[in-house]
Structure 1
């Protein structure tokens, strides 16, 4: 399973792109802000797309009672996620090496893919829960108290995925380069599984 092992190694290493590039991006645009403001979400913290974006977003959020964008030390996720990604990348490389030398069969590649997929779903669930808390847990003493058409307090949860109108802001939330590298790595591991299955079947049919 030499080809499959090499592809498995490459796919696993692509996860390390998350240490360099953002996983997710949220942009806010409004008529009075010709240059949109944005947040890049990394596995190690949240940074502004431009230098003062975080400061400006926090300033606007203050008026409607939203929390400040958290520092890395304020969220356990920014300590755990790097360990999870690093561990999964290392595990994938080990499986690829063992597959290259035919010490394991192709099914291990699929097991790795299932595990990273489950962890990804849990990560997205946690991210969405944070967005919900960020947009709904408002300071009751806020300067501006906006209400929905039915009279209930307005919430400002950004979308997990896609575009949404909030007051006079257009909010867009989409995967960033780190996420695409991770998806590419997962696709390669799926390819490694099928190639490994083909190589394994041919070898054992002819042996």
Structure 2
């Protein structure tokens, strides 16, 4: 169990990468912008990929009635998500330590993974709901009011994952370094479960 417990601890600690690296990245490409505009989404806020990207995106959004990119204090998620990640890291390390000294079994490793997976799905659902609201709740007094052929107003929700065409912009939304570190960390906790189980089966 000691090897499995060490893997569990390492996997849990990899989540700390979310405090250093972006969780997600959204890029906007258009002919009038030789250098694409980009947003890095961290668990503590949103930053432009380049210095003036957020300012330029807000300027474009203004014309079609979209709100400005929210600041950290304007979204409760940027206060809650860091606390959730810290709690899961502490819990994962604690489980690993207890496993190392033989106080808990390998099933706890899988339990941590399941809990983290549920929290991750809820986070993705919340992120997608925000994107949908951000792109559809438009200012009725916007300078540009574009509609579909049937007369319904256009919406401009960026994709949660993948590519989408929005007016003359190609918008791509993909996981970034923080998300991949989280994925690897969570995968390691599953590895820890199977290593612990195999060790137990050999003793039986």
SS of residue paired to 2:37: strand
TM-score (norm 1): 0.97
Displaced runs of 4+ in structure 1, greater than 6 A?
Answer: none
Distance in 2 (CA, whole Å) between partners of 1:186 and 1:25 is 20
Aligned position for 2:102: 102
For structure 1, list consecutive stretches of 5 or more residues without a partner in the other structure: none
SS of residue paired to 2:28: strand
Distance in 2 (CA, whole Å) between partners of 1:77 and 1:47 is 15
Aligned position for 2:188: 188
Displacement of 1:102: 1.3
CA deviations 1:132-161 (Å, max 9, x no partner) are 010000000000001112221000000000
Q: How does 1:160-175 map to 2 (within 5 A)?
A: 160-175=160-175
Aligned position for 2:58: 58
SS of residue paired to 1:99: helix
Aligned position for 1:129: 129
Distance in 2 (CA, whole Å) between partners of 1:149 and 1:193 is 55
Aligned position for 1:2: 2
Distance in 2 (CA, whole Å) between partners of 1:33 and 1:133 is 26
Aligned position for 2:67: 67
Aligned position for 2:14: 14
- 1:46–1:71: 8 Å Cα contact kept in structure 2? yes
Distance in 2 (CA, whole Å) between partners of 1:74 and 1:102 is 45
SS of residue paired to 2:170: strand
CA deviations 1:117-141 (Å, max 9, x no partner) are 0000000000000000100000000
Distance in 2 (CA, whole Å) between partners of 1:131 and 1:104 is 41
SS of residue paired to 2:119: helix
For structure 2, list consecutive stretches of 5 or more residues without a partner in the other structure: none
1:153 aligns with 2:153: yes
Aligned length: 204
Distance in 2 (CA, whole Å) between partners of 1:178 and 1:12 is 13
Distance in 1 (CA, whole Å) between partners of 2:85 and 2:104 is 22
SS of residue paired to 1:148: coil
Distance in 2 (CA, whole Å) between partners of 1:29 and 1:37 is 7
SS of residue paired to 2:165: strand
Displacement of 1:7: 0.2
Distance in 1 (CA, whole Å) between partners of 2:25 and 2:156 is 17
